[in-house]
Every structure is written in C-alpha cells, then in structure tokens.
Structure 1
C-alpha cells in the first residue's frame, strides 16, 4: 500500500517536472521544489525553535540601522518588480480582460518571466522580516498567520512560475502584491528611522485597508475574466499542449 502511494506520488512529481516551462529551468531555485522546500522548512525551524531558544537569555538586538537599510531596499526592489510587470505587459500590450499565457520566446514574454521570477525570489528575502522579529524579541508579531504566509507563499508560487510563468491573469496578483509591499516597506522603513518620523506615519491605520482592497480588486478582476476566458479555453489548452 505504502509503495503504491509512493510510486503514485513520484509519478506525479516526475510528470510535473516534465511540464516545467523550459524558459525558467536555468533560473536559481527553479530546477526542483526540493531546494525550496528545505529552505522553507529551515526557516520555520529557525524562527519557531532555534531563534527563540537562542534569544531566551539575551537582550533584544537594536537593529534600527539594519532595518532602515533592509526596508528601503525592499521598497526599491518591489518598485522595480512593479515596473518590470508593467513594461512586460500590463502597461503595454495587455488588455486587462482575458490575456492568455504567452508561450513564445519573444522579448516581452521573457521579460515577464524574469519579472515573475524576481517576485518569487523576493519571497525569500522577505523571510528576514521574521528574523528581525525574533532577534528583537517581538514574539507577539510571529503569529501563525505570519509564519504560514511566509512559508507557504514561496512554495505555491514555485508551481505557478514553473507551469505558467509568462503572462495571463495569473501575473496580476503578484504585481498588485508588489505595489502593496512598496507602501508597506516604506512605512516600516520610516518607523525604524525613529520618533522624528512618527508625524509622517498618520496613514498607518490605512495599511490593513489597503491590503484588503487590493485583494478584493485582484479577486474581482480574476473572477470577471473567467467568463470571457472560457471562450478561449480550447485554444489555450491546445496552445499549452503544443509547447511541450
């Protein structure tokens, strides 16, 4: 029974690897989900067990300078990701209605793949958010939702970028997410800069609202593009099959 289940899992695994888009295979961490899985498991163990035990009898680290550099670097990085998404489709040729995945090797498609991979890679950098919490002994911010978000999102995005890395409505949400992160990390950077910047942070109460609105907008666009996309279903499937 166990051998049959293992055999079935391995067959599915091999099948999915064969379906991996050839255009992303040379990117770091894209050859197999194994590396990614070990990194994320290591992250969970570090922030839930190793880190708290290491800090148990130590005073919190004062990491204001490091946090300022980190947060504003993330602002710049996410702004660049948004720019790349716009220039590779959303601000140029996309219709904002029902855009199928581009399976070609056109410069625009390859640029979209690169933008998608940059977004994926940014999820690993964001793991430092939790590391800062642990080193500063902000245990109240290391919640289940926080850990779940940071450990599961890169894993799910790996499958998305390997199977359909270029274009379509699937890349709309990461673009919006990167926009939100520009705002979010701007706030974190200013907050880390000290009390003199507190007067500029009056919009803190709107952060959660901004996140919720962007989720609703992303969902709305995706839902209302399902109907027009259905008419292209046969073309999309056939185009996808001929790619491999």
Structure 2
C-alpha cells in the first residue's frame, strides 16, 4: 500500500484523505475498504433495476410478519443508537452548537463511535424497505426519492463512521435516529393489517417530521459553518448541500400527496 500525501493507494486505486480517518473505527466491519461500500451499493441498485422485472412475474406478497419484525427491529436499533448518542454526549457535556472532534478511547467517546457504526449498519438494513416494496408490487413507492434517500444515506453514514464518528456529528445522528424510531413505529403498526388503520391517521405527519428534520439540520449546519466550528468545515458544507435536495424532494412529495384532497394511500 503506497502513500501519496493525503492519499493512500490501494492497488491502482487512490484513496483520498486516508491519513485523516478515525483510527478507532478504521478496522471495524465494513468500514475500512471503499470496495465494501461500492459492492453493497451496486447490489442495492441492481435490485432496484432488475427486482421489479423479476417480481412482476409472480403474485404480490403480503409479508405482514416479516414487515412487522423488520420494523420492530429497526425501532429497537434506532432507539439504541439514540440512547447511546444522547446519554454519552450529555455525559461528556458536548456542546449542541459546536463540538470539536475528539479521537479519544474513553468509554463515553467509544460509545459514540460505536453508535455511529450501528447507525451505518442500520442504513444497510433499511435496504430491506426497498425489497419489501418490490415483493409486494408497491411500484409507486419505488420512487427516485426513495432510492436516492436510501443509497445516499448509506454512503454518507460510511463517511461519518470512517472519518468523523465524534464531535458535532452527534447532532444530526441523534435527530435522524429519533425520526426513524417514530417512522418505523408507524411501519410496524401498518403491517398489522386493516384493523389498525384507524390508528394511522398521522401518516401525513411523517413527511412533515422529515421536513422539520431537514430544516433543523440546515439551520444547525448553517450556524456551525458561520461560526467556523472546529469540525471539518468541508464535511459541514457537504452535509448542508446534501440536505437541500431533500427539502425540495420531500416538499414536492408532501404537496403531491397532501396538498390537495387525495384518496388515503398506504405507505406500505
């Protein structure tokens, strides 16, 4: 493996900023090599491309039990991530506005790093959402927004756990895991069948919650960039630019589905 300034060559591949990775998480499963990320993402996109053509040959499946079990597991996993990020950051007296990065092996700092690894793994497990849509013939749900959201979040979470599983990264991770607890609770209830539909009147507010999440994220990133927060400024800026399309896409989704009276549609 050859080194070139801030790059490391892996075979014939130059790996940017390899000398800046967090040494604590470098060798954790599915973190070290970018080829793991590329392979998983390629498999996901191949499923999106060819899965519907294959599934269309068969009758749609209900999958209520797998849906419920997966959703419940995701609620529990995101709850674990939220608790770890929230309690460890409080124990370390992390600043909400601007928290410098620390490469520390103290117990609470390692809890935060481990929570970010689970956050990254959760984005792989979320690919099952797409598989369920395909097997259940929910073609309308297989939108550009859905695929872009899942695939890009996976890559962003790998970047976070590899380079910045510390400092102010905890803010967006804490918010996102909390939103996913609520979202997958809805999915778990919806998987229980028609008898529970009367309890799912708050479906539209899931999109509102997503929009609030992105708005809060943009405001927080804006103030962090403005004050020159002691986190990598490039990372903050990339996150800011990354969130803008989500505000537009989720805003358009809300307008198309709830802006005018429409027939109630199931998410799953």
For this structure pair, what is the TM-score category when the shorter chain's length is used for normalisation? 0.7 to 0.9
CA–CA distance in 2 between the matches of 1:189 and 1:65?
10
Partner of 2:174: 175
| Rounded Cα–Cα distance in structure 2 between residues aligned with 1:157 and 1:171 | 12
Please provide the CA RMSD for this pair: 2.2
Where does residue 239 of structure 2 map in the other structure? none
What is the CA–CA distance in structure 2 between the aligned matches of 1:131 and 1:91, rounded to whole Å? 39
Q: CA deviation at 1:21?
A: 1.4
Gap runs ≥5 in structure 2? 1-6, 234-268
Match of 2:106 in 1: 106
More helix by percentage: 1
- Asked if the contact 1:110/1:166 (under 8 Å) is kept, the reply is no
Secondary structure in 2 matching 1:146: helix
**Structure of greater relative contact order (alpha carbons < 8 Å, 6+ residues apart):** 1
For 1:162-219, what per-residue CA distance to the aligned partner results, in whole angstroms no more than 9, with x for missing partners?
Answer: 1222122x22112111111111111111111011111211111211111111111122
* Distance change (3 Å), C-alpha of 1:52 and 1:16: same
Larger mean CA deviation between 159-168 and 27-36 belongs to 159-168
Match of 2:24 in 1: 23
Displacement after TM superposition at 1:225 (Å): 2.9
User: How high is the TM-score relative to the length of structure 1?
Assistant: 0.85
Secondary structure in structure 2 of the residue aligned to 1:225: helix
> Contact 2:78 / 2:177 at 8 angstroms: preserved in 1?
yes
Work out the CA distance in 1 between the residues paired with 2:224 and 2:180.
25
1:83-232 equivalences under 5 Å are 83-90=83-90, 93-168=93-168, 170-230=169-229
With over 3 angstroms needed to count, the CA separation of the structure-2 counterparts of 1:212 and 1:112, relative to structure 1, is same
Q: TM-score, with normalisation over the residues of structure 2?
A: 0.78
**Aligned equivalents of 1:229, 1:207: Cα separation in 2:** 33
Number of aligned residue pairs: give it: 225
Query: Where do 5+ consecutive residues of structure 1 fail to align?
Result: 1-7, 238-244
Partner of 2:75: 75
Which protein has the bigger strand share? 2
The 1-side partners of 2:114 and 2:23 are apart by 13
